[in-house]
Amino acid sequence: QIISILYDYYANRQVLAEIQEVYQESRDGEDSQEGGDMKGIRSSFTELLRINPDIVGWIEIPGTDISYPVLQAENNEFYLTRNYKKEKSRAGSIFMDYRNDVKDLKRNVILYGHRMKDDSMFGQLDKYLSEPFFRRHRIIYFDTLYESYDAEVFAVYKTTTDFYYIDTDFSSDEEYLSFVRRLLDRSVYKTDLAIGPDDPVLTLSTCDYTFPGGKGRLVIHARLKKKM
């Protein structure tokens, strides 16, 4: 069983290395290519979409090994146990909540990923529980098919699924800002970052094993801003 687990870790890293190379080459050549396609999709994602049309973005966190494609399915279960090739995988994929619209990112944009014991996927998000790391690595890079964003981290905390931090439907600006205040109140560390009603929040969600029953979660929130 141990050999099987170790092989899964190795195979997952090999598969991810393949697509990381594809993305890096595409991104390096993006400046020399003319725009994207007729649908407005950026040229850096052309090759990725040939591999899997479910790819909607790419996330990269400096100071960690997190540099992965972001998938999106019609539900939040499919990519829990499948890699970007749609093959069965213990590590699954980083994936966007099916309720989010990559063409129009509003309010709470949620990315999920497993917290693997070999530190792959969202396994290194726990670095944000260290205040020096939290202060030095506030910017997350999030590219989508259509835009490029800087996401500035403003909250990190552990919780359980009893706290509904994955809400995506807000009836008013006031309701949304009340939601943001609850996120700020829960954070282990405080910042003076202002979040307005038109500022989308990027939420990164992974498991936390300090809570019993599989209900524990480690959560990071960041303010999304389009790059100029």
Say if residues 12 and 83 touch (Cβ distance below 8 Å): yes
Say if residues 65 and 25 touch (Cβ distance below 8 Å): no
CA geometry: angle 179, 58, 11, nearest 5 deg? 115
Name which of 178, 139, 161 is nearest 216 in CA terms.
Answer: 161
Annotation marks residue 193 as catalytic: no
- The CA distances from residue 88 to 19, 80, 83, 205, in Å, are 17, 9, 7, 21
- Cα–Cα distance measured from residue 204 to residue 221, given in angstroms and rounded to the nearest whole number: 6
Please give the helix or strand (H or E) that residue 24 lies within, else none: helix 2-28
Parallel, antiparallel, or unpaired for β 139-144 and 94-96?
unpaired
Provide the token pair at 92: 């699954």
- Choosing from 156, 207, 219, 224, the catalytic residue is 207
Provide the token pair at 154: 């403003």
Say if residues 153 and 59 touch (Cβ distance below 8 Å): no
User: How far out from the chain centre does Cα 17 lie?
Assistant: 18
- Cα–Cα distance measured from residue 128 to residue 215, given in angstroms and rounded to the nearest whole number: 20
Say if residues 30 and 134 touch (Cβ distance below 8 Å): no
Which residues participate in catalysis according to the annotation?
207
